[in-house]
Amino acid sequence: MTSQLMTPKRARSFSSFYSSFSRHHLAVLLCMMLSLSVHYLLFAQSETVSMVPADVNSGKWTLVIHGGAGGPARGVMSEIAEKEYLDNLSEALKLGSAILVNGGTSLDAVETVVNFLEDCPLFNAGKGAVLNENGKAELDASIMDGRTGMAGAVAGATSIKNPVSAARLVMEKTNHVMLSGKGADDFAKKMGLKLVDPTYFITPLRLEAWKKWKASPPARNKPFRADKEKHGTVGAVALDQKGNLAAATSTGGMMGKMAGRIGDSPVIGAGTYANNNTCAVSATGQGEYFIRNVVAYDLSALMEYRGMPIEEAARLIIMEKIANQKAAGGLIAVDKDGNIAMPFNTNAMFRGFSKSTGENEVAIY
């Protein structure tokens, strides 16, 4: 029995061996854990990179704008007038493109473009808007973020200098989608936007057109004739370098419209829509038809659920669907890959586009 007992000398030797053995295995274990951690981090990093869309930060962007569908046939408008329209469309494109080429957001680009067109008296939005039956301008606008699906709109505004900016604030600063009338004007004032006297929007050209309308039988009881007089809206759609889409639209509506009438421009899904998975759309034309046919969303749905290319889907809606209902108008759209569509079934549509590839164009007919 004595030989089996652990003597102090043996105990010290065993303790030393055990301690050395433990340190060795602990070191091996730590090395194994470190190796596994490194492999895990490398794997996780490779997985994260592979999930980033290929076009993010690729430098690719697209901007499409419009100044409304309708107007006289080619050859009726003077060359000077045509040049003025084209020059202003080009300037709007430059402003929006400068934002996108420098990595700015699609939201900033479409708002900036529409602000410019709202300030230009040539177009039916902001200054230069058409007048309602009482000779007053009532303004509608909307904006939508394709990344978040959030949207904002104002309708029947009478003193907001740039309605589309108010629409963006509705989207970003409230829990609502649309504000109308005095509520929209009061909100814009609270947010610090510039307000103007309602007479600011009335130009001599629009006033003269309203007087002619007033002297004739009520135009609201007659068929809409988009090609007799330009009843345009303004809008912009964009794809930025991060792959985000946005759309914005602004209008004064239709000459001689009933007081309080609201068209498609501030109605999300009718006159404006954006979805990063499909496209961004801004429409122009007879608002009632665009609302009934949910035109902007319909384009997105045709792409998402039927797999139609953007140009094919856009032409189907404008050249067949609403045309068969004898409705006049057009739209602009850009998809998530930068492909564009600009169909219209009227004599003219004031429009333009610019791409990071260097392609750009402005046109009327």
pLDDT for 204: 96
Residue pLDDT, tens place only, 144-179? 999 999 999 999 999 999 999 999 999 999 999 999
pLDDT of residue 59: 87
Quote the pLDDT of residue 40: 37
44 has a pLDDT exceeding 70: no
- Across residues 264-281, what is the average pLDDT? 98
Place 27 in a pLDDT band, splitting at 50, 70 and 90: very low
Residues 75-122 have pLDDT tens digits of 899 999 999 999 999 999 999 999 999 999 999 999 999 999 999 999
| pTM as predicted | 0.83
For all residues of the chain together, what is the average pLDDT? 87
Average pLDDT over residues 339-350: 97
Evaluate if residue 32 carries a pLDDT over 80: no
Enumerate residues 6+ apart whose C-beta is below 8 A from 207. Answer: 131, 135
Tens-digit pLDDT profile for residues 170-226: 999 999 999 999 999 999 999 999 999 999 999 999 999 999 999 987 554 554 444
Confidence at residue 53, expressed as pLDDT on a 0 to 100 scale:
43
Higher-confidence residue: 59 or 207?
207
Sequence-distant (≥ 6) Cβ neighbours of residue 231 within 8 angstroms: 68, 70, 124, 130, 224, 254, 255
- Return the amino acid letter for 75: G
Average pLDDT value for residue range 45-61: 50
- Binned at pLDDT 50, 70 and 90, residue 306 comes out as very high
Per-residue pLDDT band for 48 (boundaries 50, 70, 90) equals very low
**In this structure, what is the dihedral angle of CA atoms 124, 225, 273, 276, given to the nearest 10 degrees?**
-100
pLDDT tens digit sequence for 229-271: 555 799 999 999 999 999 999 999 999 999 999 999 999 999 9
| CATH tag for 62-363 (out of 1.10.510.10, 3.60.20.30, 3.40.50.10860, 1.10.3720.10) | 3.60.20.30
Beta-carbon contacts of 28 under 8 Å, excluding residues fewer than 6 positions away, are none
- The percentage of the chain sitting over the pLDDT mark of 90, rounded to a whole number, equals 78
pLDDT given at position 159: 98
Q: Which of 233, 249, 251, 272 is catalytic?
A: 233
The rounded distance, in Å, linking the Cα atoms of 274 and 301 is: 11
pLDDT of residue 230: 56
* Alpha-carbon gap, residue 85 to 363, rounded angstroms: 9
Its sign, for the CA torsion 257, 259, 262, 266, is positive
Residue 282 has pLDDT above 60, yes or no: yes
C-alpha distances (whole Å) from 362 to each of 117, 126, 136, 155, 249 are 14, 21, 31, 29, 18
Check if the beta carbon of residue 246 is closer than 8 Å to that of residue 280.
yes
Rounded to a whole number of angstroms, the CA Rg of the chain reads 30
Sheet of strand 151-157, all strands in order from the earlier edge strand to the far edge: 178-180, 151-157, 139-145, 245-251, 234-239, 62-69, 349-355, 360-363
Tell me which amino acid residue 156 is.
Answer: G
Q: Is 233 a catalytic residue?
A: yes
- DSSP state string for 163-226: HHHHHHHHHHHSS-SEEEHHHHHHHHHHTT--B--GGGG--HHHHHHHHHHHHSSPGGGS---T
